[in-house]
Chain A
Amino acid sequence: MADLHFLANPARFRRFSQRVLPGLGFATVLMLGVGLYMAFFVAPADYQQGQTVRIMFVHVPSAWLSMGGYALLAVLGASLLVWRHPLAALMARAAAPVGASFAAVCLLTGSLWGRPMWGTYWVWDARLTSMLLLFFLYLGHIALSRAYDDSGRGDRAAAILALVGVINLPIIKFSVDWWNTLHQPASVTRLDAPAIHNSILVPLLWMAVSLLFLFVWLVLLRTETEIDRRRLEVADQTQ
């Protein structure tokens, strides 16, 4: 009976996700289509960077989402460790690879932008290094959650890593203010007006919302899969 009780909350989640997933998937495709069109054809070239500025439309939202995704892992980790929320572990398993992918996209696009603009693919400045650390924290989370035969132990170990790694988020954000870095300081998320002209800012924010939709869609879909997988495991064990 205990196993069935454990599934009660995820089952409710599953009914909810099955209702919203089709609409969310449709909205994501539509938003991304419009966003990419704006990024490639509507937005003007930059006065200094020329066409290379278009990399930013993917790079910056990916950076935001990889950091937001890690904050989500930490919240899920806390709700697993403190409140033993049964869904938290499943959603953390679902979210970690998605966040890791956004971190990888951020690092790769940034590297491709850096070569023509800075003159180098990579430097070990505080911003780039802390962002690489975030990617490794994601990989560690994925590996740790799958490192035990008992998935519950893996979930708890990964939850602790997620909470410890949260220290890195403010370091990434403020690295460009605290230390001299090659990476430029924030253009959008600062207290005074953004340092980006509206014709470039609007497509950027549109892309950020589209990729947020993609993120939520992927995490919900993958959480559903994790619930199904756990159900099959339980079914196997009780046979």
Chain B
Amino acid sequence: MTPKRRRLWLLIGSLSVLGVAAALVLTALNDNLVFFYSPTQLAEKTIAPDRRFRLGGLVEQGSVKKEGQIVRFTVTDTNKTVKVVYSGILPDLFREGQGVIAEGSLGADGVFAAREILAKHDENYMPPEVAKALKDSGQWKERK
């Protein structure tokens, strides 16, 4: 084997080992790499009442109620839902049917007390006229 071939195989070998190692580490850390839990994931877990975590999903249609500074709404992933209460300023993109991520903790009553609300943007980009036309013609697809 020429030195060039030896170096090439050494390189391919070490990169494969490194790749496997990275894949194993990422799989092991899977749970910690998740930025938020969906309501379904939350239902499968038992999380201590005081532990802070993030909850993500869609703001359920018709669920937003404002009482002064306090906002109450329901986060859904169309499978399970979680009630959320929040006091503070909401981001621009926060609206019903829109993705949202709330950081806070579960209260004893099962209501998620949010300390911070982030709006999640989807991957769709279009001019307003197109969005309106899609809605008018009934071709608008709500996200899952």
Write the residues of chain A forming the contact surface with B, with a CB cutoff of 8 angstroms. 44-49, 53, 56, 78, 81-83, 116-120, 123-126, 163-164, 166-167, 171, 178-182, 184-187, 195-197, 199-201
B127 touches A182 (CB 8 A): no
Q: How many angstroms between the C-alpha atoms of A163 and B130 in the bound complex?
A: 44
Among all A-B residue pairs, the 6 with the closest Cβ atoms: A119-B91, A44-B127, A47-B131, A197-B126, A125-B35, A196-B125
Nearest residue (CB) in A for B35 is: A125
Option from B18, B117, B125 in Cβ contact (under 8 Å) with A167? B18
Instruction: Contact check, A118 vs B33: say whether CB atoms are below 8 A apart.
Output: no
Contacts of B139 in A (CB 8 A): none
Within B21-50, which residues are at the interface with A (CB < 8 Å)?
22, 26, 30, 33-38
CB interface residues, B 92-126, toward A, < 8 Å: 92-94, 101, 116-126
Interface residues of B (CB under 8 A from A): 4, 7-8, 11, 15, 18-19, 22, 26, 30, 33-38, 56, 90-94, 101, 116-132
On whether the beta carbons of B35 and A187 are closer than 8 Å, the reply is no
Do most interface residues of chain B lie in helix, strand or loop, or is the interface mixed?
mixed
Pick the contact of B127: A46, A78, A187 (CB < 8 A): A46
In the bound assembly, the distance between CA atoms of A120 and B121 in angstroms comes to: 12
Q: Is the CB of B22 within 8 A of A167?
A: yes
A-B contact count (CB 8 A): 113
Query: Which of chain B's residues has its CB closest to A187's CB?
Result: B123
Given contacts A49-B121, A123-B118, A167-B19, contact A179 B34 (CB under 8 A): yes
CB-nearest residue of chain A to B31 = A179
- Sample (15) of A-B pairs whose CB atoms are under 8 Å apart: A48-B93, A49-B93, A118-B93, A118-B118, A118-B121, A119-B92, A119-B117, A120-B116, A123-B118, A171-B22, A178-B26, A180-B34, A197-B126, A197-B130, A199-B127
Q: Which residue of B lies closest to A56 (CB)?
A: B125
Q: What is the bound-complex CA distance between A79 and B122, given in angstroms? A: 40
Q: A48-B93, A179-B35 are in contact. Are A184 and B121 (CB under 8 A)?
A: yes
Q: Which residues of A contact B92 (CB under 8 A)?
A: 116-117, 119
List residues of chain A with CB within 8 A of the CB of B90. 119
Instruction: Verify A185–B123 contact, CB threshold 8 A.
Output: yes
The CA of A55 and the CA of B124, in the complex, are separated in Å by 15
Verify B120–A182 contact, CB threshold 8 A: yes
Question: When the two chains form their complex, are residues A181 and B7 in contact, meaning their CB atoms are under 8 A apart?
Answer: no
B15 near A47: Cβ-Cβ < 8 Å: no
Complex contact B11–A118 (CB within 8 A): no
Q: Is the CB of B117 within 8 A of A126?
A: no
